[in-house]
Structure formats: structure tokens, C-alpha cells
């Protein structure tokens, strides 16, 4: 039996079909990537860290929050404040999957974020992640790691398949406007939407340029999700007014055209 700490270093086999599907569709759900035993060990630690750092947001009644804050409690870069989580958040298993799906030789940490949708929490509007990021190519990817089973009524991710190639509405910030305009675009263009339940241990990956959303949490339990965002280890900075804040926060000291290699962006896996 594999020791749990060794599981974070394991090689999860990615097939050519997985890689083709991901690069065609812009997203993929992989089954049984992490064991239930591993997540039973790390899930409570992540949940405790989120409870500590998200206490102020969670104390505001749902009806008094903005649309964004109704969607989830969002806590970023847990690895900076909770060093005990570094082995999980820097694990080579997921980092290697990210690199292989993107067909690059290695990946860096961009940042991590917990996205906890509370009981009764609202929907997450249609958006793209890359809209906020100072990246010079599309080789950026999010690993979406549920810490619990996520049936459809709990608000799993929903994707617009193959939308990473669509330029329309890409500039929209996550908002009621983005939900309305992108939803109309998807319906008028008759594009395929994909939403699936997640079993504990499943992990999905999506390009930062892929349009996605999530439904509300209609259950009485927390939808606990951890995410890790990776970029190609050779990613260069592409800074503009829209992403200057993210550039300053997640890549301190990096200037336009620099390698994205600040102290907050260590290489997490690279091909030998």
C-alpha cells in the first residue's frame, strides 16, 4: 500500500487521448487522481485554514453580500500563511499532470486559492480566469480539487466546451454582466456546455481562457474546493492595466517581459 506522503509524488498516467481531449475542449475531469485517505488527511487542515482566514466574510449575512461574495468564500495563497499545507499545495502529482496536459516541460506556481461555496451560496457567474492574469501565452491551467463529493445540486464547475478560442466577452470581469452576456453568447452560438458531478478524489483541469461558471449550493453542506493555478515554467510577464494588481500581488518584482519567476512562483515540476 502506498504511504500517503508518497501519493503526493506519484505519477498519475496521462494518456495521449487525455491530452488531445484537454487541448480540444479546454477542460477535463480526471477520475480517482487522489485517494479518499489522502483527502481525509489534508481536507480538514485546509478547511481549518479557510475558517481562520475567512471568518470576517463568513460572518456577513448572505443577503448583505455582493454577488461575488455570495458565490464563495475565497482565500488565496494558503501556502504563504499556513506552511503545513505546502506539501499538499506543492505536490508533484498534480503539477506533472498540469505540465503534461499543456504539453510543456515544467510548471510554476502562480497562486493557490480555496473556493468554499457555503450552504445556500449563490451561483458563480460565467467568466474566464486569464482575464485577470499577466500571462503572455495560453499555457496556464487551474487544478480544481474537491475536498468532498460534489453532486449537481452542490455547484460543480460548468464549462463552455472549446471556448478557449473565443475572443468575444473575454474582457468581462466576473459579475452579473459577465453571466448575462456570456450566457447569451453560449445560447446564441449553440455551443456545448458541460457539467458533471465530482466524486471525492476526482480533479478537473481547465485552461485559464476557458469560459466557466458554477451553480448555487442548494444543499445544507459546504462545497469545499481547493484550487492550484500553474503556468508554464517559461512564462513571460504580459502586464496591462487590467492585470496590474494581480501582477503586483502574485509576481512581485517582475516587470513586463520578465520570466514569471518571483519568489512566489517556484517551479513545482519539470521534466528531467
Q: Residue 22 and residue 196: Cα distance in Å, rounded?
A: 15
By CB atoms closer than 10 A (0-12, 13-18, 19+), residue 165 is exposed
Burial profile 131-158: b = 16 or more Cβ within 10 angstroms, e = fewer: bbbbbbebbbbbbbbbbbbbeeebbbbb
What superfamily in CATH does domain 4-270 come from? q2cbj1_9rhob like domain (2.60.120.620)
CA of residue 148 relative to chain centroid, distance: 16
Confidence band (pLDDT; 50, 70, 90) for 56? Answer: confident
Q: What length is written for the chain?
A: 272
Query: Which value, in Å, is the radius of gyration of the alpha carbons in the chain?
Result: 18
Tell which wins on pLDDT, 3 or 111: 111
The pLDDT tens digits of the residues spanning 186-237 come to 998 888 999 999 999 999 999 999 999 999 999 999 999 999 999 999 999 9
Under DSSP, is residue 62 helix (H, G, I), strand (E, B) or coil?
helix
- Residue 98's Cβ-side half-sphere holds a number of Cα atoms within 13 Å equal to 35
Q: Residue 189 and residue 21: Cα distance in Å, rounded?
A: 21
pTM of the model: 0.96
Amino acid at each position: 500500500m502506498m504511504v500517503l506522503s508518497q501519493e503526493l509524488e506519484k505519477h498519475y498516467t496521462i494518456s495521449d487521448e487525455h491530452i488531445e481531449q484537454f487541448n480540444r475542449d479546454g477542460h477535463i475531469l480526471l477520475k480517482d487522481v487522489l485517494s479518499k485517505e489522502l483527502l481525509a488527511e489534508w481536507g480538514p487542515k485546509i478547511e481549518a485554514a479557510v475558517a481562520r482566514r475567512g471568518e470576517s466574510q463568513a460572518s456577513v449575512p448572505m443577503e448583505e453580500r455582493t454577488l461575488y461574495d455570495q458565490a464563495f468564500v475565497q482565500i488565496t495563497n494558503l501556502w504563504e500563511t499556513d506552511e503545513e499545507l505546502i506539501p499538499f499545495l506543492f505536490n508533484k502529482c498534480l503539477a506533472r499532470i498540469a505540465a503534461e496536459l499543456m504539453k510543456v516541460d515544467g510548471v510554476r506556481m502562480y497562486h493557490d486559492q480555496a473556493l468554499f461555496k457555503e450552504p445556500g451560496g449563490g451561483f458563480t457567474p460565467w467568466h474566464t480566469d486569464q482575464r485577470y492574469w499577466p500571462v503572455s501565452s495560453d499555457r496556464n491551467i487551474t487544478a480544481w480539487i474537491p475536498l468532498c463529493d460534489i453532486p449537481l445540486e452542490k455547484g460543480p464547475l460548468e464549462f463552455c466546451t472549446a471556448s478557449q478560442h473565443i475572443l468575444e466577452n473575454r474582457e468581462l470581469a466576473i459579475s452579473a454582466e459577465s453571466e448575462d452576456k456570456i450566457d447569451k453568447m453560449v445560447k446564441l452560438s449553440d455551443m456545448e456546455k458541460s457539467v458533471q458531478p465530482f466524486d471525492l478524489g476526482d480533479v478537473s483541469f481547465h485552461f485559464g481562457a476557458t469560459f466557466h461558471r458554477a451553480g448555487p449550493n442548494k444543499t445544507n453542506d459546504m462545497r469545499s474546493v481547493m484550487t492550484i493555478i500553474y503556468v508554464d515554467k517559461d512564462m513571460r510577464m504580459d502586464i496591462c492595466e487590467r492585470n496590474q494588481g494581480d501582477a503586483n500581488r502574485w509576481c512581485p518584482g517582475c516587470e513586463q517581459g520578465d520570466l514569471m519567476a518571483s519568489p512566489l512562483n517556484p517551479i513545482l515540476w519539470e521534466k528531467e
